[in-house]
């Protein structure tokens, strides 16, 4: 099967990190391709960034669907799951957001978990997602290591040290059984952090790969009834004119 991992930001080094982490856990016979939008924010650290990046996510799904090699499943590799429902409207293939995937996986190995993310403002977004997805009662706390997203690439050693420190605090103070890492750029850090703190550590990219394989393996796809039906064809204007009269797949 072919899984396309979409990094909603435009930082190529982070896209490579996501691709490498996804490939490491993929089953034999699963092919991972990783893409990013041509335009948008270099990192996603708030609601405005998410809105802009969601357009890029939708365009990446549409490009794949119209290509000679459409994906069997898609992963949205940002912890805010930007554009998740819009992306699901555009394809029959499963579309998995990494936050939703990580929350699901954490509940399979523990009854309580905490989220450790980058900045406090994105922690609020994670709290909204926990409520939306129905996982608030499983999550004890959302913690911020107070590191900008790009520090995961540009100051990796310091970022890892801060994450381990915050994860230790979560272990010692939150009465939990597992940690969820709240950023797609942390996709390659689970082993080091888990070894350092002695708890299961889940991040969403790898969790989404395994869930994508499971959903596609069950021959399940995105329902085209109700609100996830293909978008109604209509005229768009200005810079979005190219989206006019989308055709159902």
Task: Give the chain's mean pLDDT.
Answer: 95
CATH number of this structure's domain 2-97+207-243, picked from the four choices 3.40.50.12500, 3.30.450.20, 3.40.50.300, 3.90.76.10: 3.40.50.12500
Q: Which of 27, 15, 134 is nearest to 75 (CA)?
A: 15
**pLDDT > 90: percent of the chain:** 93
84-103 pLDDT tens trace: 999 999 999 999 999 999 99
Residue 249 confidence (pLDDT)? 56
Is there a shared CATH topology between the 2-97+207-243 domain and the 99-203 domain?
A: yes
Helices (H), 110-229: 120-133, 151-154, 156-173, 190-197, 204-217
Residue 119 has pLDDT above 80, yes or no: yes
148-178 pLDDT tens trace: 898 888 888 999 999 999 999 999 999 999 9
Q: At what angle do helices 156-173 and 190-197 cross, to 10 degrees?
A: 40
d(CA 185, CA 10): 12
DSSP string over 32-55 = EEEE--SSS-SS--SHHHHHHHHH
Residue 247 has pLDDT above 90, yes or no: no
Residue 43 and residue 149 in contact, taking contact as beta carbons nearer than 8 Å: yes
| Cβ-based neighbours of 134, under 8 Å, separated by 6 or more | none
Note if the pTM is more than 0.85. yes
188-202 pLDDT tens trace: 999 999 999 999 999
CATH of domain 99-203: 3.40.50.12500
pLDDT band at 245 (very low <50, low <70, confident <90, very high): confident
Residue 248 confidence (pLDDT)? 66
Q: Which of 156, 162, 212 is nearest to 187 (CA)?
A: 156
| Domain ranges across the chain | 2-97+207-243, 99-203
């Amino acid at each position: 099967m072919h899984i396309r991992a979409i990094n909603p930001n435009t930082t190529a080094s982070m896209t490579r990190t996501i691709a490498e982490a996804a490939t490491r856990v993929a089953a034999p016979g699963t092919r991972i391709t990783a893409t990013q939008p041509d335009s948008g924010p270099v990192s996603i650290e708030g609601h405005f960034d998410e809105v802009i990046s969601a357009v890029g996510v939708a365009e990446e799904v549409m490009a794949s669907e119209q290509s000679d090699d459409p994906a069997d499943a898609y992963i949205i590799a940002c912890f805010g799951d930007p554009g998740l429902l819009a992306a699901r409207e555009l394809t029959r293939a499963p579309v998995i957001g990494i936050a939703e995937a990580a929350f699901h996986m954490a509940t399979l190995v523990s009854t309580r978990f905490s989220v450790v993310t980058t900045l406090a403002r994105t922690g609020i977004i994670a709290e909204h997602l926990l409520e939306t997805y129905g996982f608030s009662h499983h999550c004890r706390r959302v913690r911020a290591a107070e590191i900008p997203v790009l520090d995961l690439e540009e100051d990796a050693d310091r970022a890892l040290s801060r994450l381990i420190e915050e994860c230790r605090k979560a272990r010692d103070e939150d009465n939990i059984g597992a940690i969820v890492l709240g950023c797609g750029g942390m996709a390659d850090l689970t082993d080091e952090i888990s070894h350092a703190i002695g708890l299961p550590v889940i991040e969403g990219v790898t969790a989404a790969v395994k869930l994508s394989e499971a959903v596609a393996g069950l021959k399940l796809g995105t329902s085209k009834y109700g609100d996830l039906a293909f978008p109604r064809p209509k005229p768009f204007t200005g810079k979005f004119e190219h989206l006019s009269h989308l055709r159902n797949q």
